[in-house]
Amino acid sequence: MKTKLKKSITILPELKQFISPLDGEAFKQLEENVLTHGCRDALIVWRKGSQDILVDGHHRFEICTQHELPFKVEVMTFADVEEVKRWMIDNQLGRRNLRSDQLSYYRGLKYLAQKQDRGGYDKVRNRGTKGLETSQLLGDEFGVSDSTIKRDAKFATGLDLIGKSNPKLRRDILNGEIKVKKSDIQIFAEADPKTRVQNVQDLKHKVDVIRGQLLEAMDKSLDKMSNVPEVKEPVFLEKDQQITKIKGKILSVLNKAIKEEDPQVLTEIKSLIERLEGLLG
């Protein structure tokens, strides 16, 4: 099927954000290719009632409508918008030209989507997976560690949080036009969801504030842990052994907090464990 009627295609912003952004040079090259050879690949649409909602081909659609060029359309069937999102994430992960940050972003989105499918549970309880965590399964799939997948999820969460108030900043970070430390975006994921970001300087300032809040929370947790008997560690322990000891202490205090039903300590220590694993992963 061919068409060049813009009104026949519906674009949903919540779906468009899953498309990898193109920098100026890449978009220009795509435009030149389409003008020279035509739009050879069909645009993918989801037919929902009387609407054809664009799922893949947003850049080509923009070029074709701007230059009044015909294009083919392939209709796909999806149960709902969440299934569309999952398809789009997998489709983006299948592209070969993804930048490192883009790959991290889509891996993080896939992790979050799979956790949502399981009602927030991270464990996969199928026979063949032997109770592996979602992060472990995705880590095996993409050849990275499970802690990398969890950091990717924080990166995706932080970036989407930024995009809610400043879509251009999110797009510029993803396509590499603005350089921001990935670790800063991950920290930003732990911010108040109401936090708004106006520009990259504002982002960096808020990240510093959040980092300070985390350190303050850590200090408070350590103060509450002060009544825990100190365990002397031999100075000759290997690094991995020292890390294991530290984790053991934190888990010990965590168990103590559970018994005493102190939710504040519980929340803070869980956060510390996650951050410790993230830093060491």
111: exposed, middle or buried (C-beta count within 10 Å: 0-12, 13-18, 19+)?
buried
Most confident range (mean pLDDT) of 112-121, 123-132, 156-165, 254-263 is 156-165
Local confidence band at 36 (pLDDT 50, 70, 90 cut-offs): very high
Least confident interval from 72-86, 92-106, 128-142, 235-249: 235-249
What is the overall mean pLDDT for the chain? 77
Mean pLDDT lowest among 43-52, 149-158, 242-251? 242-251
b/e per residue 146-182 (b: at least 16 CB within 10 A): bbbbbbbbbbbbbbbbbbeebeebbbbbbbeeeebeb
247 pLDDT above the threshold of 90: no
Q: Where are the domains of the chain?
A: 1-97, 98-213, 225-280
| 1-97 to CATH, choices 3.30.450, 3.30.1490, 1.10.3470, 3.90.1530 | 3.90.1530
Model confidence at 45: pLDDT above 90: yes
pLDDT in tens, 88-103: 999 999 888 888 999 9
CB 38, CB 69: distance < 8 Å: yes
**Tokens 């510390």 belong to residue:** 272
The vertex-52 CA angle with 46 and 55, nearest 5°, equals 45
Distances (CA, A) of 273 to 100, 130, 140, 252: 26, 24, 23, 12
Nearest to 133 by CA among 279, 277, 271: 277
Identity of the residue numbered 47: R
